[in-house]
Amino acid sequence: MITDKGPAPIDAAAEAYLRPMIEKAAFAASANEAWLLLSCFALLAALLVPFAWKTNPQRPGKSG
C-alpha cells in the first residue's frame, strides 16, 4: 500500500524566497531559447545564400 502522498505544499515564506530564483532561471532559459532560434535562422540564411542567385553563362545583350 502506498502511504506517500507526495510533497507538502510550500508555505508563503518559502514561496517568497524561491519565486525570484525561479523567475530568473525561467527568464534565462527563455532568452537562451530565443538566441538559439535566432542563430538557427541566421545559419539557415547563410546556407541558402549560394542558391539565391542564378548565374547565367551568357550575358544579356552580348552575342557570341
Whole-angstrom Cα Rg for the chain: 28
Query: How far, in Å, CA of 20 to CA of 16, rounded?
Result: 7
pLDDT at 64 over 60: no
> Averaged over 8-14, what is the pLDDT?
91
The enclosing H or E element of 13 equals: helix 12-48
> Averaged over 11-15, what is the pLDDT?
94
Query: How far, in Å, CA of 32 to CA of 40, rounded?
Result: 12
What sign for the dihedral angle of Cα 38, 40, 43, 47? Answer: negative
Query: How far, in Å, CA of 20 to CA of 14, rounded?
Result: 11
